[in-house]
Structure 1
Amino acid sequence: MAYPFLFISFLIIFFRALKRSFSSWYALIGTFFLSSIPLLVFHASTAYSDFPQAFYYCAATIYLFLFFKTFKANKSASFGFLLISAFLLGISVWVKKSGLYYAGINILVASFFIFSERKNLSWEDKKSLGLAFLIFLLLCLPWLSYHQFYTLKSYSSEALTSLPKLPFLTLGREVVQAIWRNAFFEDNWHLLGILFLATLLLFPKLSFAQPHLYLLIIIFLQWLMIFILFCFTRLDRFIFDDTLLNRLTLHFVPVILYFSIEVIGTYLEIGKKEELKK
C-alpha cells in the first residue's frame, strides 16, 4: 500500500530537484520520463523491495548531486541537501543488502569531492560534514551490527573462494554483453540507454565537467559493481537470467535519467543566456 506513495514522493523529489535549475515545463517533462520507465512503474506496484531501494538510494544520490552543484554558490543550502542525502542513504542500507555497496559508492565520491574542496572548507563546514556522516552512521550502524557485516563477510568469502565455472575472460565478456544488452536493447527502460549515450556523445564537455562528472562517476561505479558481482561471486550463475540484472540496474536507473536531463538542460540554459547576450 505504501509503494504508490513512495512513487508519488519520488516524482515530487525528482521534479523539485530539476525545477531548482530549469523551467517548470522542462522539469515536468523530465519527471514524465521518470514516471514512464516500464520496470520502475511495475515494481512500484509489486511487493518486491527493489523499488524502495531505488527510491531511497536515487533520492539520496540526487540530493548529493544538489550538494555538489550548490556548494560554491550557497553553502547553507548545499549542506541542507547533504543532510537529507545522508538520511536517505542511511535508510537505503536497511532496505536491501545491496544498499551497503551503494552507500559505499556515494561516500567514496562525496569524499573525493570534499577532498578537492578542502581548501574552501571552514570550521563550520567541517562540523556540517561531520553531522551528515553521524546521521548516516546512526541510521545504518544498528543494521550493520545486526546483519550486514555478516553479509559483507559472506560476499567477500564468496568472492575469494568461489571460482566462476566459465573462464574469466569468457565470463567477463558475457557480463559486458548482458549489461550492454540490458541497457540498449531491451524495453525495460524505453530509450534511456540511447539517451544516456547520446548525452555523452553530444555534450561531452558538460558531461565530464563538474558537477555532472561526480554523477557520472557514480553511474560508472554502479555498473562496475554489477560487473564485479557477476564475475567474482556466486551471482555468476545468474548472468544468463536477466531478472537479477534488471533488478540491480533498476536501483540506479533514475540517476542515469537525472544525469541526462541535467546535462541537456544545462546546455539549453547556456544557449538561452548566449541568445540574450546577442
Structure 2
Amino acid sequence: PKSEIRNPNLNFEFSILNSKLPRWLRGIIVILTVWTVAKILLTGITFLLLTPPFQGDTVDNWNLRGKMFFVDQAITLTIPNSEGIPMTGDVNSYPPTVPLVKASFSTLAGNWSEPLVNVIHLLWYLSALALLFFSLRRVVGTLWALGGTYILASLPLYLMHGTNPYADVYLSVHILAAVTLLFHALVSDDPDRRASFLRLSAFATALLPFTKNEALIMHTPAILLVLVAALWYMKHIGKMSLKDCIHTILWYVLLLSAVTLPWIAFKWSHGLTFGNAQSLSNINLAWQPGVLKAIAKNTFLEGNWLLLFPLLLVLLIIQKRTAFKTPLLVLTGFFLIVYLGQFPLYMFTFLSTEALYQTGYARGIVQLAPTVVMIVTVLLFHCLQTERGKG
C-alpha cells in the first residue's frame, strides 16, 4: 500500500524512475557513487586501519574499556589511568555496549588489534547510509533516496565521526531506526505491517539507553512523547483501536524494561552517574554568555554541515504543511524536541563548554544528522512536486 506522505502528484517521481534515465544523468549518478565510495573507503582505511587511535574519548573510553573487558574477560569498573594506576573513572557510567563489541571481536580473533576493533565504526557508518536509503526509498523512490544518501555521505563532520572510533554515529543509527519505523507505521495502511513497524520501533527505542548516556535523558523521552501523539492520531482517524494502542504501549514498556531497567539498576547499585559522565546533581543554573553565538557559528557558518541546516530552515517554512501536518511530523517533532530541548542545558549550566568548544553540541548534531537528512529529502521532494503541480 502507498503511504499518504507520497501523495499527491506522484506522476513526476514515477515517470523518472520508470523511464530510461538520460545518459548524462546516469553518468552523474555513477561518478558521484564512485566518488562517494572512494572517499569513504580512503578516509576509513586512513583513520581506522592505518592511524593509531589518538582521540581522547577513544583512548580513555571506548578502546580502553574494550581492551580491559577483553583482558579481564569481565565488565570491570576499575581501569588504569595514563600512568597505569588503577582508578574508577566517570567513563564507567557510559553503557558498555561499544566496548563489549570490541572485546567480542578481539575474543573471536584471539588477540587485541586496534584496526580490528576500529573497523566496526565504518560498518556502523555504512549501516546509517543503508538505513537512510531504504527508509527514503519507501516514500520518495530510489532516485531521491540516492540523493538523500549522498547528502548524508557528503557531510564532513558526519564522515569524520563515521571513520573515527567514536560512538555518535552508532547512536545515530539507533535513533534513525526508532523514529523512521514509527514514521512508517503511521503512514502504512496495512494493519499487520503497521504492527510490525511499531514492534521494531519499540525494539530500536529500547536499545537507545544502552548506547550512550544522553539517549536515556534526551532521545528516549522524545520518542515516547512522539509515540503517544502518533497513537492518539491513529486512534482518532480510525487506523488503530484502543486495544491496538494498548498492545503497542505494552511492547514499548516490555522491551524498555528488559533493557533499561537492568542498566539503571546496575548504575544505581555501583554509584555511577546518570549524566554524560557528569552527575546530574551537580547542575547549577546560571546564564552562560556566548553560547548562542557559538551554536549559530557551528550550525550555519562553518563547513561541518555545509548547507544542510539553512536548507532545513527554509524548507520548514515553505513546506510547513508537509512538515507539521502530515506523518512527517513524527520526524520533525522528534528533531525539534531534542534539538531545542538541549538549548537550556547549554545556556544555563556548566555544559555550556560543550557548545562553546563545539564538542558536545556538534556530537549531538551528528547523532541527529541522518534524521535531519531524511526530513530535508522528503521536504525537497514535496517542494518540487508542488512547484511542478503549479506549472
Q: Does the pair score TM above 0.5?
A: yes
Task: Note the C-alpha offset of 1:236.
Answer: 2.2
Equivalent in the alignment of 1:142: 262
Task: Note the C-alpha offset of 1:46.
Answer: 1.2
Task: Note the C-alpha offset of 1:103.
Answer: 0.6
| Structure 2 residue matching 1:266: 3-state secondary structure | helix
Equivalent in the alignment of 1:126: 246
Question: Do the aligned residues in 1 keep the contact of 2:331 with 2:375 (CA within 8 Å)?
Answer: yes
Question: Do the aligned residues in 2 keep the contact of 1:106 with 1:218 (CA within 8 Å)?
Answer: yes
| Structure 2 residue matching 1:51: 3-state secondary structure | helix
Are positions 1:8 and 2:8 aligned together? no
Choose the corresponding residue for 1:223, options 320, 339, 362.
Answer: 339
Equivalent in the alignment of 1:109: 226
Equivalent in the alignment of 2:326: 210
Supply the distance in 1 between the matched residues of 2:135 and 2:353 (Cα, whole angstroms): 39
- Cα–Cα, structure 1 residues 29 and 200, in superposed 2: closer, same or farther, change >3 Å? same
Question: Do the aligned residues in 1 keep the contact of 2:156 with 2:304 (CA within 8 Å)?
Answer: yes
Return the structure number with greater relative CO, CA threshold 8 A, min gap 6.
1
User: Which structure is larger by alpha-carbon Rg, 1 or 2?
Assistant: 2
Equivalent in the alignment of 2:350: 234
- Cα–Cα, structure 1 residues 244 and 113, in superposed 2: closer, same or farther, change >3 Å? same
TM-score (norm 2): 0.62
Are positions 1:177 and 2:297 aligned together? no
Q: Which has the higher helix share?
A: 1
| Structure 2 residue matching 1:187: 3-state secondary structure | coil
Question: Do the aligned residues in 2 keep the contact of 1:83 with 1:135 (CA within 8 Å)?
Answer: no
Supply the distance in 2 between the matched residues of 1:5 and 1:238 (Cα, whole angstroms): 27
Task: Note the C-alpha offset of 1:89.
Answer: 2.0
> Which is further off, 259-268 or 104-113?
259-268
Equivalent in the alignment of 1:98: 214
Supply the distance in 1 between the matched residues of 2:293 and 2:210 (Cα, whole angstroms): 31
Choose the corresponding residue for 1:246, options 352, 359, 362.
Answer: 362
Question: Do the aligned residues in 1 keep the contact of 2:128 with 2:370 (CA within 8 Å)?
Answer: no
Supply the distance in 2 between the matched residues of 1:136 and 1:163 (Cα, whole angstroms): 31
Q: What amino acid sits opposite 1:127 in the alignment?
A: H
Tell me how many residue pairs correspond in the alignment. 265
- Cα–Cα, structure 1 residues 270 and 240, in superposed 2: closer, same or farther, change >3 Å? closer
TM-score (norm 1): 0.85
Are positions 1:39 and 2:157 aligned together? yes
Supply the distance in 2 between the matched residues of 1:232 and 1:137 (Cα, whole angstroms): 32
Task: Note the C-alpha offset of 1:7.
Answer: 1.6
Are positions 1:158 and 2:282 aligned together? yes
| Long gaps (5+) in structure 1 | none
